[in-house]
Structure 1
Amino acid sequence: MIVFVAFLLLRLLSVFVVKTWYVPDEYWQSLEVAHKLTFGYGYMTWEWSKGIRSYIHPLSIAVVYRALAWLGFERVQYLVLAPRISQAFLSAYSDYCFYRWSKRSKWSIFLIATSWFWFYTATRTLLNTVETCLTTVALSLYPQNSKTDSQKYLWIVALLCFIRPTAAILWFPLCVIHMQRSYRSIAELVLKRYLPIALIVGTIAIGLDSYAYGGFIVTPFEFFKLNVLENVGSFYGTQPWYWYFTIGLPTVLGIVTLPFAFAVVQTLQNHTIYSDRYDLLKATAFTLAVYSFLNHKEFRFILPLLPICLHITADTLKNWSHNASRWAIWIVTLGLLTFNAIPAFYLSWVHQRGTTDIMLSIERIAREYRDVDGHTAKFLFLMPCHSTPFYSHVHQNVSLRFLTCEPNLNGIENYMDEADKFYANPVAWLRSHVPVHPKSAMPSHAVLFDCLQPKIKEFLQNYKVINNISHSEFTTDGRVGHNVLLYERITHISPKKSNGDEQRKKPYNSDKLILDPKTDHDEF
């Protein structure tokens, strides 16, 4: 119990320390969907129109939202914090399961508690985080030998395969190993254990998704069709086949890569002695190999491998420490702690924080702002798509407009998404999409990175900077700047300027700015 409480306190701490932006899915595939389900407005990305996402995860967050509304805590700060706090409880429980799975080793506590990447992601509202937690719980229930032939873990595995179909890649070799190790026949396991559990969980999951989508749908099949057969994921970037081995896994593990590499060598050399570790290594290698064939790669995709790698490393360090000197143990401990703490703090508290911090100002303005004609705020996000949270962090039914980046789902030749069209010629895009007459038709506020500012000076003549927030000291994308700027439309003409001066300015196209119909808002 003490260990669980310690993990819980650590994860609750991370709720308030982790303030930075990581990936769009943390908001757009979870909180935004839940907000739409609960409060009736929010943006649904193309994944939901194509049916490749399961509603199970957003529905769990919607339950939290509904409870807050029922208790009278329907405020933005609670809507932002509550899902992360609930995730902290789940992550703390999975940490405790990791501790039990690792035979209550002190090294297991140390490694899972100090892992920089787990601290960075453990309380984010990512489906990958939920997947990692459930994977850890399932691994703690996974039978270690033929005498403990429990199938409890299969219920979790079945659920994982529906909410995150790629989980099947990791669990396929582990299930095969279970069948080989079990004293039951393969036919008995499949017909009396695997198949009934899959049918029960699948029926419930398909029923929930079909109800949410308004028609029969099997989301894992739709996911496979678009992401594997049609390779839609490549639209969001590709990496070479060896990326997970040379960059992906070493980055996720951080400094733990060194003892993990030692553990791998030791396990391979003595695989009969460390048979459990050897089985886990085979599952890890299989998963990395399959993922390497997929063109689109991300660090978060291999997050479920983190507890496996840490488990193998903890067992190795436990055996090593029996014969190591006290000084050697202290040096290793302090080295692991230091080189995990540095990236954990910097990436959680400093790097890429501007796009989340700016939402505090946007939420306040959305709640209080009225122009001279009494109109509410209308925000235009001139940034790479999904650079900020959306309605889940505003909780006001105001007009929000961002540059979309839907993949080429219709096979259009020379296709460019809206964000690419904008960055190809920002001035031309603004002239063709943003009206200037009457002035109230223009967005009341614009949000952009500072690197865009020189390119749209003409448009920004109608605005003044009201907030400038540091975002990142290092940028590798020319579309992402060092600071996030929030502009507000100037509502009064300066007395020094005549009407003729205003009229001589080159006007933008007076066509209305077309909003995506999914936002349920009027046009600018």
Structure 2
Amino acid sequence: MKHFSAPADLPVYALDFLTEDVVVYAGGGGAGRSGVKNAIRTARVDVPSESIKELSRLELSRDEDAPMCIAVNKSLGSLVAGINSVAEKVKANQNESLRVFDFEVKESDNDKEDKDPASPSELSATVTFVKSAPSLPITNPEEYQFVLHTFPSLTPAWQTPEDAFTNGSGSAEELYSADFSFDSEQVVIASGQKIKVFSTSPAPLDTSSSSSGEKSDSSNSSVKRPLKIQTILNPALGGAGPCTFRAARFGRAPTSEKVLFTVVNAGPGKGSAKGKRKSFVSSWNAETWELVQTRHVADKPITAFDVSADGKLLAFGCSDLSVGVLDAKTLRPVLRILDAHSFPPTCIKLSPSGKTLVSGSADNTLRVIEIPSTALIGANASNNPKHGRPTPQALLSSMSTRASSKSGPSLFTLFAVLLSFRLLNAALTQTFFQPDEFWQSLEIAHRIVFGYGYQTWEWRDERASLPSGSAPWQGWLGGWWQDVVVGSPIRSIAYPAIFVPVYWLLKNLQLDNTFLLTLLPRLTQALFAAVGDFYTFRLAQRVTSIPIAYIWLLLNWTSPYSLHTATRTFSNSLEASLMSAALFCWPTSTFEGKSDVSTRHTQGSQAKGRRSQPSVNIYPSLAFMGFAFIVRPTSAIMSIYLGLDLILFNAPRAALPSLLIQTLIVGSAILSWQTLLDSWFYGRLTVTALAFLQVNVLGGSPVSLFYGAQPLHYYLTQGLPVIATALTPWVVTGWAVCLTGAGARGLSNLRESSTLALLARASLWVTLCMSALGHKEWRFLQQLGPIWILFAAVIVSQQAHERKAEPAGKVSESSRNQHTELSTSRPRSAFSQIFSELASAWQTLHSAAHKSEQSRPSSSATKLPAWSNRLLNALPPLPYLLLAQLPLTIYLLVGHGRGQMHIMRYLHEAVVERQSGNGLETHGKGTAGIKSVGFLMPCHSTPWQAWMHAPELEVRRPTGADEEREQAGWNGSGDGGRAWFLTCEPPLQGQDLRTYRDQTKVFFEDPLGYLQTRFPSLVDPNFPPSPFLPAAPGVNCTSGRQAENHPDWKHAWPSHFALFETLLDRKGVIKNGNQGTVRDFLREKGYAEVKRIWNGVGSDDENRWGDVLVLAWQGAKSK
């Protein structure tokens, strides 16, 4: 059995077969501003090659509704479509909802050639518009009545009375389906609460009232009424909740007994799981109207239903995204395709022979399924007693399609694979990248649990020490701003709080002195990285296709930047994961929710003059965006763009109140929760997001500029190449192609080109906004990394498609397995299927890189811009580039900056050994272990107590004047005490950045001078703690000269120094006037090397070159 998915370029709401292998489908974005055209398409279905080739197209008005139903009369070559007119005509009761088109299927050899679809449409113009909104066979949109017309004259035959379909309260019911019997003598109409069967011949005028059972219409006695044959009321199913009819269909072929099939969707019953809504299919004797049998077919509502032309097979689409086929005689399952679409199926149709099934969905895809021959044999046997019952082997083969069709991995299995990969990624990461990985997350969480750790300036509350008048506004707002915002901490405790349970568990299990102290936090972040991969993969699957999703996964797993940063405890890493989840949940393209896509655009809703209110659910996406905002306020840049795009260009006007209400509710909840959490942590009202804005944007001299100011083009010339690495040319090409949306629509294997265009525009918006800020870092665009890689995956797939690496009429293995969708069950060998798909993705990379002139597409055949083809063709094959990145990735994970990490564990182990009485001997001198340590490195070159975990090196601050600062959360190490480092506090009072110099800068300008003037002349063997700074660093230094002569920068000689090797070779003048090096000076003071850790081959900071060394005092050198 074969089945595959094909892009449809528009949301599909109706389809039918013109011939055995030519299908017509229709849909679009409706009357609105979604940008999705309304159209009717015809295409040839080629099951052997698993392809659908478009034959013709007819574009419809964007001001009207999308076609919601179509019916084909093959003998007359006519197609009837239900299309609601523009709103003005609907309100004026002039809805021209019935359209007739002529068609002709021309068979020719040209149809089989592989070239662009013919531009002239083979669907002719409209023949007749029928006034007063008749429908065939849909409802009268004004009165929820059914009007029967003869065809092709379209003469009204009869109309149901006003009260034919009303509920107990007298309100009109919406009609869901209508169908004619095989001999066209009866028509069955289904509403939610009842099914009625009428004769197609009108009742006599004098008996229509009594015989039909409904009240006659006294206002128009000339209207003909139908003769009612039977009414079936909504059945009550045992164990199920409230039931509604969804469809009713007659059996198609003339058989010894006439049959009617009905579909019932049931709500949750008593004691059943919340949200569990079963669906049932029943068969009725259409002569005696006795119920023959009922079968439970799914645990979600059925959204589409069809009967084969010979009446032997039933097909259904379900809101659990599956498509199924039943034997019409026994209602036994024939096959079931899990996750046939990303949204619930909206329409389904069996071919005239019953050998092919096609379903459509609002996710812009068609699913084509070849009905296995065993199913046809079984159906023939069950419908024809002469053939007897099918063999058990045939039934088993026809019913076990899930295993034989290589159904894709479950969501659980997929996430397990992604998580396993990221856990391995985290365990292999042994290097230092940037300080915020520790100082803005783990150090704070460590302090909360263990009671010690360093708080950088971002976490300190300086409101009491700042002068008044710092607010940018006057009046009460300025006073509030001065009291609450100015000098307030700028970091929210939300992200560090994630790691508090981890440290708490280690502390209570007494495992905090093991390797788990440094490993578990990173494994925790690996969980979030896997969540980001999971949602981006599913986004890629929904927007493009399964093969492209696996190409994305392969490229993401081989990305040096992703492997280097995703599992690090940066707030940017969590921001990227949360925004990936938000993008997956964001309403895109048709803005249809998964739970009710198939019933959203109900026939007649617009025609009634009150289109049903669109239900655009953005709560999940807003929640993810809100948490991302708490973690990093700059994530709001993308959120704002997505919101404006939705409101201004895509969302129906009727949905705007709902969107605004949802935004208000989630926004208020997120901001309130953040404010309460941070205010509780800091002990007073604190709004960290506003404080962040005040310090880094609104201030006269933004503090962020202290850490560097980069040019406007930085993110395009450095950020993008660093994040994308070897994929940069493919990312640039994909980004450019997807920006317009029109360019992407011509590419293969895309389901939502408009969504790709949205992602491209949003990425550009974020890049431009972030470029406007002075201080820039690569990781500030980390949230765009997964999107950029998706752009590259799209281009790689297109290259492979155009190079035709396989014979004509064939598709790649990855395309052949497009049915490998995600399901909620656990198929056998799911792990092997994932890696098989990754292998297919690797083969696609090779196909895309194929260099032969024979396989290279002509300039007229390619859908990619000419400049991109020249660029990509000039590059080495992408697989070679990815392999070339492997040494770089390994080096970044285990080599570059390794010493900066492992020095802290070495110090931890040394302190632990000293406390256990073993001592750490130093070169046989017998010197006791570590008593104090000073870091002569650029500030924050290493982690701190989150890795060193040495409470023995913490000291309590003096009482008295400093007691208030200690209670306010000041540090017991770092800028003094038994463990200290060179600080780099920013100018927090608006000092001139051109003259301001921090402690690190002062030290490295003249290391020897600093050591001689800031330390005592002799080393005290007792190694007393270094003095603490009595004032917050960076607050009182108003000029460069004051910084250079800062009286508080005094130190006691420690028992150990940690430094980079390059420092020892720095030259200067020793007090006696002789030239010397730092190495000479420290050797004279009695310090010698006791530990050397390799730190890589270089650094972007000249003060971090060489190995990381530990020097220990071994006694003064004798003179």
- One fold, TM greater than 0.5? yes
Given candidates 436, 439, 451, the residue that maps to 2:1021 is: 439
1:196 CA drift (Å):
0.8
Amino acid at match of 2:670: V
CA spacing shift, 1:376–1:257, aligned 2, 3 Å: closer
The Cα of 1:379 is off from its aligned counterpart by: 0.7
Give the 3 Å change call, closer, same or farther, for CA 87–31 of structure 1 in structure 2.
same
Provide Cα deviations, 1:202-228, integer angstroms capped at 9, x if missing partner: 111111111111111111100011011
Provide Cα deviations, 1:57-96, integer angstroms capped at 9, x if missing partner.
Answer: 1111112111222233222411110011111112112211
- 1:279 and 2:758 correspond: yes
8 Å contact from structure 1 (residues 102, 311) kept in 2: yes
Deviation at 1:431, TM superposition (A): 2.7
Write the deviation string for residues 262-320 of structure 1: whole angstroms up to 9, x where unpaired.
Answer: 21333246257322111111111111111111111111000001111122232333344
Query: CA 1:375/1:363 → structure 2, altered by over 3 Å: closer, same or farther?
Result: closer
Question: Residues 151-166 of structure 1 correspond to what in structure 2 (within 5 A)?
Answer: 151=618, 152-166=620-634
Alpha-carbon spacing, 1:418–1:376, altered in 2? closer, same or farther (3 Å): same
**Which residue, 397, 406, 418 being the options, matches 2:999?**
418
Most deviating of 414-423 and 435-444:
435-444
Is residue 739–residue 758 contact of structure 2 (8 Å, CA) maintained in 1?
A: no
Q: 1:464 aligns with which of 1088, 1098, 1110?
A: 1088
Tell me which residue corresponds to 2:665. Answer: 196
Q: What is the alpha-carbon distance in structure 2 between the residues aligned to residue 112 and residue 223 of structure 1?
A: 32
* TM-score (norm: length of structure 2): 0.43
SS at match of 2:710: coil
Tell me whether 1:256 sits opposite 2:693 in the alignment.
no
Aligned equivalent of 1:403: 982
**How much has 1:359 moved relative to structure 2?**
1.7
Q: Report what 2:570 is aligned to.
A: 126
Residues 236-257 of structure 1 show CA distances to partners (whole Å, capped at 9, x for unaligned) of 1111111111111121111111
| Cα RMSD after superposing both structures | 2.1
Aligned pairs for 1:374-523 (under 5 A) are: 377-397=931-951, 398=953, 399-412=978-991, 414-435=995-1016, 436-441=1018-1023, 442-455=1053-1066, 456=1078, 457-461=1080-1084, 462-491=1086-1115, 497=1118, 501=1119
Letter in 1 for 2:519: L
Distance 2:1022 2:1010 in 1: 19
The unaligned stretches of length 5 or more in structure 1 are 502-524
Deviation at 1:16, TM superposition (A): 2.3
Q: 492, 517, 521: which is aligned to 1:83?
A: 521
1:3 equivalenced with 2:3 (yes/no): no
TM-aligned CA deviation for residue 135 of structure 1: 0.9
Match of 1:360 among 892, 905, 912: 905
Higher strand share: 2
Flag the 1:233–1:412 CA change in 2: closer, same or farther, 3 A: closer
1:39-66: CA deviation from partner (whole Å, max 9, x where unpaired): 0000000011141111001111112111
- Residue 464 of structure 1 aligns to a residue whose secondary structure is strand
Number of equivalent positions: 495
Q: Given the superposition, is the C-alpha separation of residues 93 and 375 from structure 1 closer, same or farther in structure 2, using an over 3 Å criterion?
A: closer
Q: Which range is displaced more, 471-480 or 178-187? A: 178-187
2:1103 counterpart SS class = coil
1:216 aligns with 2:685: yes
1:448 partner SS: strand
Residue 373 and residue 256 in structure 1: after superposition, are their counterparts in 2 closer, same or farther (change >3 A)? closer
Q: Which residue of 2 aligns with 1:311?
A: 790
Question: Bigger shift: 276-285 or 332-341?
Answer: 332-341
2:617 corresponds in structure 1 to 150
Bigger radius of gyration: 2
Q: Which amino acid aligns with 2:933?
A: F
Question: Which residue, 162, 171, 174 being the options, matches 2:639?
Answer: 171
Say whether the 8 Å CA contact 1:76–1:395 is kept in structure 2: no
Q: Any idea what SS the aligned residue of 1:216 has?
A: coil
How far did 1:363 drift?
1.1
Distance 1:68 1:159 in 2: 26
CA 1:76–1:415 in structure 2 vs 1: closer, same or farther (change >3 Å)? farther
> Which amino acid is the alignment partner of residue 234 of structure 1?
L
8 A Cα contact 2:936 2:981, kept in partner: yes
Q: Which amino acid aligns with 1:488?
A: A
Partner of 1:522: none
Distance in 1 (CA, whole Å) between partners of 2:697 and 2:991 is 19
Secondary structure of 1:485's aligned partner: strand
Displacement of 1:375 after TM fit? Answer: 8.2
- 8 Å Cα contact 2:910/2:929 also seen in 1: no
Counterpart of 2:1099 in 1: which secondary structure?
coil
Aligned amino acid, residue 252 of structure 1: I
Task: Identify the structure with the greater helix proportion.
Answer: 1
* CA distance 1:482–1:437, shift in 2 (3 Å): closer
* Separation in structure 1 between the aligned mates of residue 1103 and residue 889 of structure 2, nearest angstrom: 25
In structure 2, C-alpha distance between the alignment counterparts of 1:7 and 1:289, rounded to whole Å: 32
SS at match of 1:221: helix
Deviations 1:362-416 (A, max 9, x none): 1112222369897852010000000001101111111210000011112446321
Between the two proteins, what is the percent identity of the paired residues?
A: 30
Contact 2:1091 2:1110 in 1 (8 A): yes
Name the counterpart of 1:182: 651
Higher relative contact order (CA 8 A, sep 6+): 1
What secondary structure sits across from 2:696 in the alignment? helix
Q: Is the 8 A contact 1:11 1:91 kept in 2?
A: yes
Conserved? CA contact 1:271–1:278, under 8 Å: no
Q: Distance in 1 between matches of 2:654 and 2:1010?
A: 65
C-alpha displacement of 1:185: 4.3
Q: Report deviation, 1:477.
A: 2.4
Between 203-212 and 6-15, report the one with greater CA deviation: 6-15
Secondary structure at the counterpart of residue 75 of structure 1: coil
AA aligned opposite 1:382: L
Q: Residues 487 and 73 from structure 1, CA distance in 2 versus in 1: closer, same or farther, beyond 3 angstroms?
A: same
1:199, distance to aligned residue in structure 2 (A):
0.6
- Per-residue CA deviations over 1:327-379 (Å, capped at 9, x if unaligned) read 53466562353144232212122222211121221111222236989785201
Secondary structure at 1:155's aligned position in 2?
A: helix
1:512 alignment partner in structure 2: none
Amino acid of the residue matched to residue 467 of structure 1? K
Cα distance in 2 between the residues matched to 1:450 and 1:127: 31
Q: CA separation in 2, counterparts of 1:134 and 1:26?
A: 18
Contact preservation (8 Å) 2:1061, 2:1109: yes
Q: How far, CA to CA, are the matches of 1:218 and 1:337 in structure 2?
A: 45
The alpha-carbon distance between structure 1 residues 340 and 139, as it changes in their structure 2 partners (threshold 3 A), is farther
Does the Cα contact within 8 Å between 1:7 and 1:113 map onto a contact in 2? no
Matches within 5 A, 1:233-252: 233-252=704-723
